[in-house]
Amino acid sequence: MPTDDTRLAAPPAESRHITSPSLKGNPDELRDLEAGLDKLQSDAVRKAGIDWSRVLLPVAALVVLVLAWQFYVSLGFKRRDLVPGPLDVLGQMGVLWGEGKIQEAVWTSLQRGVVGFLISVVVATPLGLLLAQVRPLRRAFGPLISGLQVLPSVAWVPAAIIWFGLTDGTVYFVVLMGAIPSIINGLISGVDQIPPQYRSVGTVLGANRLQMALQIILPAALPGYLGGLKQGWAFSWRSLMAAEIIAVGGSIGFGLGSLLDQGRILSDMSTVMAAILAILAVGILIELLVFAPIERRLLQRRGLLAGSTR
């Protein structure tokens, strides 16, 4: 078709424009154009002050719950020694504080929890990286690790008592069996979610296996790893309480779990409640003071915080 040919022979006007040298301009103009675009398109730095709703809302929620509790108790459905009110528990807390018992219990448990957790991190991190990076190992041990995470770590208490007796060894063993699998699993799932392109970039940039693991895979997996650490801490803390409730006496020190068990033996509901609240408080404080700031910072630096309700 001759008509078709002539149409094609004349280049589209658009293309003549783009390749036109006149559009290239002089270098200075281009620098300004570029600088202008950069200014327009990049984010301005926003600095926020203290966000009071972050403090006031949780406090308000707490007040509401305590008031509801007080209201229920004041209705008098149950005997006061079975369901103590907030004031009774607070009073008991004061008594325990006076005796120095609550401080001792919190200190003992916290120390063990933190030490157990740190040992777990040191053991689980290289194992997790190894499992995530080496396919045969992952295939061989992956199901076992997942299974260990599902197994309640309390199940290890009887075994631990037989092996280690009533010593701190028992407590640490149970804590480690609880925390290590969940940290490994968190790290593995963090590695699984890395965009494959990061590995290609690493290969192209010439990273060897160790550099790939430490400088690319580990930082890329950090959000998932942090999730694993949080869960690992939760498992440490829970396993610790379970171990302390069951294994009492011997050379095992007096922790929050022991306090709880003592309350049960004495049928002292106020002590039981005080111990539960102390366990809860430690959990909340660790989350608020340790994990939340790290997580916020991590997400913020990667630009993942926009639109989240955190």
What residues make contact with another protein under the rule CB under 8 A? 8-12, 15-24, 30-31, 33-35, 37-38, 40-43, 197-198, 200-208, 211, 215-216, 219-220, 222, 301-303
Alpha-carbon distance of 73 to 84, in angstroms, equals 7
Q: Which residues are within 8 A (CB) of 84 and not within 5 positions of it... i.e. 6 or more apart?
A: 73, 92, 269, 270, 273
One-character DSSP codes across 148-213: HHHS-GGGHHHHHHHHH-SSHHHHHHHHHHHHHHHHHHHHHHHHHTS-HHHHHHHHHHT--HHHII
- In the complex with another protein, the residue whose CB is nearer, 84 or 202, is 202
Report in angstroms how near the CB of residue 288 gets to another protein at its nearest: 24
- In the complex with another protein, the residue whose CB is nearer, 40 or 59, is 40
Report in angstroms how near the CB of residue 53 gets to another protein at its nearest: 25
- In the complex with another protein, the residue whose CB is nearer, 118 or 304, is 304
Q: Any idea how long the chain is?
A: 310
Alpha-carbon distance of 93 to 105, in angstroms, equals 12
Buried b (16+ CB within 10 A) or exposed e, 12-50: eeeeeeeeeeeeeeeeeeeeeeeeeeeeeeeeeeeeeee
Report in angstroms how near the CB of residue 50 gets to another protein at its nearest: 23
Query: What are the CA-CA distances from residue 288 to residues 42, 64, 184 (Å)?
Result: 32, 20, 23
Alpha-carbon distance of 213 to 203, in angstroms, equals 12
- In the complex with another protein, the residue whose CB is nearer, 100 or 206, is 206
- In the complex with another protein, the residue whose CB is nearer, 78 or 301, is 301
- In the complex with another protein, the residue whose CB is nearer, 37 or 281, is 37
- In the complex with another protein, the residue whose CB is nearer, 33 or 284, is 33
Report in angstroms how near the CB of residue 212 gets to another protein at its nearest: 9
Report in angstroms how near the CB of residue 283 gets to another protein at its nearest: 28
Report in angstroms how near the CB of residue 18 gets to another protein at its nearest: 5
Report in angstroms how near the CB of residue 60 gets to another protein at its nearest: 33
**End-to-end C-alpha distance for the chain, whole angstroms:** 65
